Structure formats: structure tokens, C-alpha cells
Amino acid sequence: MIETLFFDALRSAVGPTAATYALLAIGLNIHFGYTGLLNFGQVGFMLVGAYGLAITVSVFGGSVWLGVVVGILAAVALSLVLGLPTLRLRADYLAITTIAAGEILRFLVRNTSSDPFTGSVFGLRQFAGDFYAISPFSGGSDYLGPLRFSANRMWVTSVGWGLVLVLSLGVWALMRSPWGRVLRSIREDEDAARSLGKNVFLYKMQSLVLGGVIGAIGGIVFILALQNVTPDMFLPQVTFFAFAIMILGGTGTVLGPVLGSILFWFLLTGLQSGVRTLVDSGAIPGVAGGQAVGAVSLIAVGLMLMLLMIFRPQGILGDREELRLDVK
């Protein structure tokens, strides 16, 4: 039983979902970890990336590659719309606006009158054909030994983690550059950066766009792995998972989001399998079965977020001195 639990958890920790959340957290890390922007609507960027791809392919018959471009452009547009009114204001205004925007977008794609484009609550499918057509993997479920990944899962997993690697390298290089130093100085003291003649608003906007685009790429990987997309994949809790991952791994570090995602999904899936086993065996009385698994794991995520923030805000890899997270 322990063995099944372990492999369940490991399967999830190296799978496409963990790669997706690593991407979301890399984007958030650019926003929050390096620039100090409180983006609580990362799921909105993920949503426009995912639906940009799915609508382009399923509704308009474009190729997957065109869809990816559309998804990324949609994320750029969303960051401009969100950033223009809020980036001049205090950090918490961006937080409230972004979480609201994420929900607005979900309501809109879910709405019945959007049905011809988004398929409303039923969502869209059959957009991943081109992507799997160029897969180098073939055959049955015999990849990665005991994890038994199918050929398709293996392909999307490789692409997902490949993107994580490339983008992490990119973040590493960017944050060593003068541009990255300006971002960090904005996080530390916005007024100081301004007094040195930097256009703080412009830098914040660039950071918002960059992190948002990476979030959209996360959304694209996510739906390519699932091969369908529905509005309720994009609940606000997705953003909070990404936040928990970033803080767990280490806010403002290059590898923090990656390590955080692997560890987070290992722990969460392990916990879910464990609770499910306990519920099935009747060890937890008086609790509705399927909901208990979800509820317990989300309580655990919430507790983890609280405890980390109180006792170890720098996470596993972070440097406490570098992160005096505060708004002026």
C-alpha cells in the first residue's frame, strides 16, 4: 500500500501537471518574487493561453502552432489591460483586480452565449492532434518503468519540463542582467528606483507581460496534456496553488518554482491517495467520501501556505534577508 502511494505521488510529481504548475510559478516568481507585483489572477493568464489555443484550432481550424501564438498574444493583451489601471497604485490593488479578472474570464467563457466559441461549460476538445503527430514516442504504457507513462503522456511531459528548463535558464540570465537588477530594486524600494531615473511603471509592465506569457504557456501545456479544456479547470485556487508552490520552493530564486512544484505535487497527491485509502476503508467516519479527499487536501494546502508564510517565508531555497516582503 505504501508502495502504491509512493508511486502515485511520484507519478504526479514528474507528470505534466507538475510541469504546468512549475511554469505558472515561474511566471508568478517574475511578478512577485523579482518585481513585488501581487498577481492573484495567474489562472487568468493560464486561461487565455489555453482558450487562445483551443479556439484557434477547434473553432477556426488553425494549426496548433498558430494557436500557441494566439494564446501568447492573448496573455500579452490581458497583461496590458490589467496593468494599465493598477500598476501605478499600491500592490494590493493589483491583487484584487487580477483575482477579479480571473473570475470574469471564467464567467465569460462559461456563459451560454459564448457557446459557439468556447463550448461554454462543456469546453472544447480535439485541438491537440498536430502536437501529438510529431511525438517521437510510440507504443504502449511502458515509459519510466513503474510509473507506466503512455507514449502521449511521455511526449507532453518531456515538452513541459523542457520548457520549464529553458524558461528557468532564461529567468536566470535575465535576473543577472541590468534589467533584472532594476526589477529587484523596484521590489526592494520603488521610490529609490524611481529617483535613479528608472521608469518604474514600464519595468513593472514588462514584468507583468513576461510572467503572464509564461503563465499562458503553462495553460497551453496543461490542456495539451488533458486534450480538452473546460472553464472550471480555471478556478481561483489554481493561482493559490501556484503561490504555495513558489513560496514552498523559495520566492525570488530561479529553481524555487521547479523544486516547489515537484515537492508540492508529490506531497499533495500522496496525501490525496492516503486520505482516499482511509475514507474507502471507513477510517474517517461521518464524511462524504469524494469530497473529503478534496477538502482535506485543500485544508492542507491552506495550512501549508499559512505556516510557510509565518515561519519560513523564504521557502526551501530562498534567502530571508533578500526578501523583506512588504508594501510601503
Partner 1 sequence: MVSTLVARLRHAGALTGLALLLGPLLVLALPAATAVAQDVETISGRFRFEGEPVVGVRVTVTEEASGAVLEGVSGEDGRWEVPLPGPGTYVVTVDTATLPDGVGLRDPERTSVEVRVLENASAAAVFALGEAVDAGSDLLRRILQNGLNGLKFGLIIGMTSVGLSLIFGTTGLVNFAHGDLVTIGAFAAFFLNVTLGLPLLLAAPIAVAFGGLVAGALDRGLWRPMRRQSAGLISMLVVSIGLAFVLRHIVLLFFGGSRLAYADYSLQTAMRFGLIRVTPVELWVMGLSIAMLVGVGLMLTRTRLGKSMRAVSDNRDLAESSGIDVQRVILSVWVLGGMLTAVGGVFLGVIESVDYLMGFRLLLLMFAGVILGGLGSAYGAMVGGLVVGFVSEVSTVWFSSQIKYVWALLVLIIILLVRPQGILGRRERFG
Residue 101, interface with partner 1 (CB under 8 A)? Answer: yes
Binding to partner 1 by residue 113, rule CB under 8 A? yes
The helix or strand, by DSSP H or E, that contains position 125, with its residue range, turns out to be strand 124-125
Minimum distance of partner 1 from residue 92's CB (angstroms)? 5
CA 195/CA 172 separation, integer angstroms: 26
Taking the complex as a whole, the smallest distance from the CB of residue 270 to partner 1 amounts, in Å, to 18
Any contact of residue 196 with partner 1 (CB under 8 A)? no
Q: Find out whether 73 and 53 touch, Cβ atoms under 8 Å.
A: no
C-beta of residue 106 within 8 angstroms of C-beta of residue 92: no
Pattern 71-90, binding to partner 1, x per CB under 8 A? Answer: -------------xxx-xxx
4-63 residues near partner 1, rule: CB under 8 A: 38, 40
Query: Can you list the alpha helix ranges (DSSP code H) found in the chain?
Result: 2-14, 16-28, 42-54, 64-86, 91-110, 115-118, 129-133, 151-176, 178-188, 190-195, 200-226, 237-249, 256-280, 289-311
Q: Site for partner 1 (CB under 8 A): how many residues? A: 54
Nearer to partner 1, 164 or 248 (CB): 248
**Residue that is written with C-alpha cell 476538445 in the block:** 125
> Could you give the CA distance from residue 175 to residue 187 in angstroms, rounded to a whole number?
13
Instruction: Kindly identify the residues of this chain, within the stretch 219-248, that bind partner 1 according to CB under 8 A.
Output: 236-237, 240, 243-244, 247
Interacting stretch for partner 1, rule CB under 8 A, among 9-17, 52-60, 218-226, 299-307?
A: 299-307
The CA distance from 216 to 41, in Å, is: 12
305 binds partner 1 (CB under 8 A): yes
Residues of this chain that bind partner 1 (CB under 8 A): 38, 40, 84-86, 88-93, 95-97, 99-101, 103-104, 107-108, 110-113, 236-237, 240, 243-244, 247, 287-288, 291-292, 294-296, 298-299, 301-307, 309-310, 313, 324-327
